[in-house]
Copies of this chain bind each other. A is one copy, B any other.
Amino acid sequence: MSLVPVPAHVETSPGELPITSSFSVAIDGYQEPRLDRAVERLERQIARQTGLPMRIGRGDTATATLIIRCDHASKPVQDVDEDESYDLEVRPDKASLTAPNPLGALHGLATFSQLISVTPGGFAAPAVRIHDAPRFPWRGLMIDVARHFMPVDVLKRNLDGMAAVKLNVFHWHLSDYQGFRMESKKFPKLQEMGSDSNYYTQEGAKDLIAYARDRGIMVVPEFDVPGHATSWFVGYPQLASAPGPYRIERRWGIFDPALDPTRKSTYSFLDGLVGEMSKLFPAPYFHMGGDEVNGKQWDSNREIQSFMQAHAIKDNHALQAYFVAHMEEIVSKHHKILIGWDEVLSPSLPASVIVQSWRGQSALADAANLGHRGLLSYGYYLDLMHHADEHYSVDPMSEATASLSPEKKKLILGGEACMWTEYVTAENLDSRLWPRTAVIAERLWSSQDVRDIDSMYRRIGRINWELELLGLTHRTSMDAMLRRIAGQDDVNSLWVLAQTVEPVREYDREVLATQRDALNSGAALNRLVDAIPPESKSSREFAHLVERYIASDFRDATTEKYIRAQVTTWAENDARLQPVLAGSFVLKEDAILSTNLASIANIALEALNYAHSNQIPAADWVAEATRTLEDAKKPQDDLVLVVAQPVEVLVQAVSKAKP
């Protein structure tokens, strides 16, 4: 079994349910068209998982392989207080899925398809009893479609991915400095002048919302105010705190423009827009952003300054609180609950407002102590290129939140993975989201004590493949990108290098980009750094080999052989790869990485020889090797040669070995 997320209770028993072409699903009890569509999706997915021809459509309760029973309907509009539990029993002759409502049944179907695998006897699901329910009610994914626009079909396939790992909130970051991406019929200049024609029609949004609803996902829109709104001001400069004209922002960063929070007209505009969008989006939540206002436009606007004096608003933080209070009124008027990033928090903030924290557990604890529900996104920023295990280790109920009172703990709703898209396009979005989003999904669904990293990485293999079958391109797109980068069909030697490097982490790319003057939305994202995954599987596996070899006191001959084979491949790759690198301007800067890979591979070979012959290398060899390795670790073309680290571990171990 290889389930992601791990269910709450699993009880296995002997035997298995064969999955053949005569597999069918029946629906008993409460029925609705959404369940029928879910059954058809399951059948299509099983067809893809097995290659068996499947009859698509609902089967007969008397003969069906799997019977679904729901007690009653879900809420007409999905909310986070719904029962998402399900019970799945697989026996050698039949399977049954029971759930209070279709939402739970959808989760159970996701589990069922993950149970199926090939066996020596055929395709089968193991006999098992599962009782499952999520740990947190809010398990979200935010995608920023403002910095780079993502077409509806790209979002849809990612909604499929979300449903596969039981995420239930799609947080749609629809506006920012660089674009306003949703059609407004009331204020059409928002998209007409603020989107470079890259926006969603309301028709498209409705379609996406229905698609998400079918998959047990609520869609929460975010329109970021009062900062992050330059794109609004292109069409409506009167909203800003400084006179226009404005242009769509092309750079990345934090910028001065902000809504003028002192004018009535600002709020009547927002009332109109929130009203329009509240009708379009059925979810009971409305995200207003509220982050990163630098206050400069407010400081230099005399009218704003005198307004603040007149109203005893002592600083920009108080002015922001004043704005948020008005937003809350507007959003409440339209029957929605306001959500904002950390910065919306102030002592006067109405308790109903939900705080989404990029700052961390202590900010969430502070909010909870003021009575606010909270969502953790700190530690779940996928754009920072962290490894899966790092995200996995972050828990919404840890550190400051862990010591909240039981009552206050209930206010921690869960969390959201966040994908900011400065360096992400429709082409590589999937590879930035997956499989790491699945790991965060498990953190939010499964018990807190589910934290075995080896198990998590093992199960990622299966979910990777499942996501591929759902149409996600997180692995397949890399091949096409590498061919483009290399300008040739044979990319074997480029693959070897690509598997040893990782993108720089945190905000290092922004720092390096400033140096190369490519810090803008028009820059091509077509280099090696954009094609490779955030995490090198080869490097992780190589590090394990090195660990195992050292732990054996250099006696494990099989492991030594594997290490030798790997580093020999690296050492020999440079000669083959350099002509490829020379032929492509995109790869020019990577030549040194390839050379470095050969150098450190040769160091590893020498280290192996020392270890193999029970010799300790001379101090100057160690010093020279260490210098080379340190040098090889420096970022180059936004890439880091991550296999240098385990080679260094090997060198250090060899230099200290007892002969």
Mark A residues whose CB is within 8 Å of B.
21, 48-53, 117-122, 427, 461-462, 464-465, 468-469, 475-476, 479-481, 483-490, 522-526, 530, 582-586, 588
Contacts and interface: CB of A to CB of B under 8 A. Distances in A.
Nearest to A465: B483
A597 B479 CA distance: 28
A52 B165 CA distance: 33
Contact of A585 (B121, B462, B530): B121
A286 to B, nearest CB: 31
A489 B465 contact: yes
Contacts of A490: 461
Given A488-B461, A489-B464, A583 B120 contact: yes
- This protein's copies in its complex: 2
A456 to B, nearest CB: 14
Most chain B beta-carbon contacts within 10 A, residue among A21, A120, A475, A485: A120
B119 A487 contact: yes
Query: What 9 A-B pairs have minimum CB-CB distances, sorted nearest first?
Result: A51-B526, A461-B489, A118-B487, A476-B476, A118-B584, A465-B483, A52-B524, A468-B480, A122-B585
A319 to B, nearest CB: 37
Nearest to A55: B196
Contacts of A120: 582-585, 588
Contact of A119 (B21, B48, B489, B584): B584
A438 to B, nearest CB: 13
B484 A53 contact: no
A53 B427 contact: no
B484 A50 contact: yes
Contacts of A486: 118
A522 B21 contact: yes
A282 to B, nearest CB: 29
A453 to B, nearest CB: 17
A264 to B, nearest CB: 39
A119 to B, nearest CB: 7
Contact of A480 (B52, B465, B530): B465
A583 B484 contact: no
A462 B486 CA distance: 12
Contacts of A479: 468, 475-476
B524 A118 contact: no
Given A476-B479, A488-B461, A524-B21, A585 B119 contact: yes
Most chain B beta-carbon contacts within 10 A, residue among A48, A469, A483: A483
Most chain B beta-carbon contacts within 10 A, residue among A475, A476, A523, A525: A476
A585 B583 CA distance: 46
A462 B484 contact: no
A197 to B, nearest CB: 8
15 contacts: A21-B522, A48-B484, A50-B524, A51-B427, A51-B484, A51-B525, A53-B523, A53-B524, A118-B583, A118-B585, A119-B583, A120-B583, A121-B585, A465-B483, A476-B476
A21 B520 CA distance: 14
Most chain B beta-carbon contacts within 10 A, residue among A118, A461, A483, A485: A118
